[in-house]
Chain A
Amino acid sequence: MTLRTCLIGLAAAAGLGTPAAAREVAVITPYLAQPGTQFYVDGFTARAEELGWTLNVIDTAGDVAAVISRIEDVVTQGVDAVVINVDPAQIGAGLQTAADAGVPVVGMDAGSDPLVAANITSNGYAMAAETSVYVANRIGGAGNVVMFTFDPFPPVQVRGAIADAVFANFPDIEVIDRITPDVSDGGIADSRAQMEALLAANPEPGSIAAVWAAWDQPALGALQAIEAAGRADEGIVITGIDANPQARDAIAAGGNFEASVAQDFDGIGRTTADTVARILSGKEIVQRVIYVPTKLVTIANVNAE
């Protein structure tokens, strides 16, 4: 991808223009170096090429103010649409510039804003429903469950709210603790410490049936605690969300960490391009948040991809 956009860039620099009729779209993000963002952009690029667009992918290398500057530049240049992958609350000035010039802005897992025509992302509610129902079914609808949540961060808060509802719907499931780990070190270490304390407080085998975590790091911390305490064979079920590589390894190993949910980054990129295409063809987007389906990852399919 990078090489190709380099070539596109060099071609543009050399003055090799494209036909005036071609649609031109700019993708602007401060986070291109992050793996997730790269997958979005690759998916977007693939679909944009099928649609015959001229694409300008701009990475501001972590500089959010530069995202505003580059939005101003591409709006001046006259692009047909702008795609962002950054919190819209931080680039209000740029969104306003685009709105004033009548250039639509679409969010690729960016967040909602009145000036963003649509945001394409994964459904946090659905992801949490997948794993919490997995836990409930796996333990036969009965037992003590430990939850790891993080309510200060809205996208993670909704996951916890759904899991609360699912577990509350099973009369024989009791949530014995709802832990908010300290995430300043990434979340694994503190989750492990908290889980160790809980294991010590509940020494009876079977006294903890499952650990439901709102994202993978606490699940990995809980797994470490359970293995270190020598209680890996009690059948404690652990689930996470996001299916990061470490979580996939743990699931593939066949231990307590049984399930997580993978976002379809490529699909988010493609759907973003399709949404831009709809806007450019004059369609009104009434659904301001567009969800791309996610997939439950278990030992049954972890190696299938």
Chain B
Amino acid sequence: MMRLVRRFGGLAGMLAVVVFFAVNLPDTFLTARNLLNVSQQISMLTVVAATMTVVMVMGDFDLSVGTMASLSGVVAAVLFTQGWSIPAALAVSLAVGLAGGLFNGLVVSVIGILPFVATLATLTIFSGLAFMVSDGRTIFGRDIPAAFGDFARGGPVIGTVDDRALVLPNLTLVAAVVVLLVWVVLEQTSYGRRLYAIGGNREAARLAGLPVVGLRLSAFAFTGIGAALAGLMYASRVASANPTQGDGLMLTAIAAVFLGMTLTRDGQPKVLATLAGVAVLGILDNGLTQMRVDSYVREVLIGAIILFAVGLSALGRKGVAWRGLFRRGG
């Protein structure tokens, strides 16, 4: 019985959250429009958390994703102000993300600095660069091409409800593609299996002949690009960019991966589980707002729910879910 609770407690908890809101908000919660709204609201977090899963599979993590998202947004916006085309500016931003990610990989994997320390340092560096690039300003209005802001407001129409078009948001589609890509990489390629092997036992993976240093280095490219993409999605959604706007994504993304880990059999990070974790966080925000729960109380509740879910799961497999997190890199 206890084992059943531990194995499926997380899943049951998530379903309970959905049922709770469905009962309390019978007319508005389980509607296509609301669920599509939620999917759009969590799209940026989904991208960051999905790519975060790639490094967490190895027992690493990346604290710099939030400030990288901010940096990528202001880089694109500043390029817009200088007359760059949208594709060119986006390409540069994503390249900045790739470079930042590879740099993280380099310091973690080749130099061997603990991910916590290394990415804490790059978090600060990226944030500083974001302020330098933008002069600390918010870039908005005519400086941002209309098509860039319109992207996050649009999407294919998939129906009509109450005489209002039902739109499948573009941002949701982008997030879905990223989740699919990460799923293929992690679950369908030998590259992904090797990352899991490193997470299982780094020393054994090395002795088995895996190029651990190179694999860890390359995996950080995912978080860098994912963060940069999320930053662009954020900038599109608010049709503006400022040097701190993506910062909050980092902690929530890590929380989402941990929440997802409570769903998997052996506490391994899996991208679809991460997606479930993100969805629960998004649903909590959405449902509690609709129930008029004070925003500060909402934060406390969400934190408590994360603790409860992860705690429940940790009871079942003490030490496993947290493996490697604070272990020395090498």
Contact = CB atoms under 8 A, between A and B. Distances in A.
A101 B285 CA distance: 21
B152 interface: yes
Nearest to B300: A6
Contacts of A68: 41, 237-238
Interface string B279-297: 0000001101111111111
Interface of A: 2, 5-6, 8-10, 12-13, 15, 54, 56-66, 68-70, 72-74, 76-78, 87, 89-93, 96, 100-101, 184
A73 B289 contact: yes
A62 B293 contact: no
Nearest to A101: B164
Given A73-B286, A92-B239, 18 more contacts: A9-B297, A10-B294, A12-B292, A13-B288, A13-B297, A54-B292, A58-B289, A63-B245, A68-B237, A76-B290, A77-B290, A77-B292, A78-B27, A89-B239, A90-B138, A91-B238, A93-B238, A100-B164
Interface in B10-37: 24-25, 27-28, 31, 33-34, 37
Nearest to A15: B24
Contacts of B164: 100-101
A65 B245 contact: yes
Interface residues of B, number: 43
A275 to B, nearest CB: 22
B214 to A, nearest CB: 36
A62 B238 contact: no
Nearest to B27: A78
Contacts of B299: 61
Given A76-B33, A92-B239, A13 B293 contact: yes
**B interface SS class:** helix
A8 B292 contact: yes
Contacts of A100: 164
26 contacts: A6-B294, A6-B297, A9-B294, A10-B297, A12-B292, A13-B288, A13-B297, A59-B296, A63-B245, A65-B44, A65-B234, A65-B245, A66-B285, A70-B285, A72-B37, A72-B40, A73-B286, A76-B33, A76-B34, A77-B289, A78-B28, A87-B140, A89-B239, A92-B153, A96-B153, A184-B135
A77 B149 contact: no
Interface in B152-170: 152-153, 164
B239 A12 contact: no
B136 interface: yes
B141 interface: yes
Nearest to A87: B140
Contacts of A63: 245, 248
Nearest to B237: A65
Interface of B: 24-25, 27-28, 31, 33-34, 37, 40-41, 44, 135-136, 138, 140-141, 149, 152-153, 164, 234, 237-240, 242, 244-245, 248, 285-286, 288-299
B291 A12 contact: yes
Contacts of B240: 64, 87, 89-90
A65 B135 CA distance: 21
The 9 closest A-B pairs by CB, nearest first: A9-B294, A77-B290, A69-B41, A12-B292, A73-B289, A56-B292, A72-B37, A90-B238, A93-B153
Contacts of B149: 92
Contacts of A74: 289-290
A54 B290 CA distance: 13
Nearest to A13: B293
Given A76-B33, A93-B237, A9 B293 contact: yes
A8 B248 CA distance: 27
B219 to A, nearest CB: 27
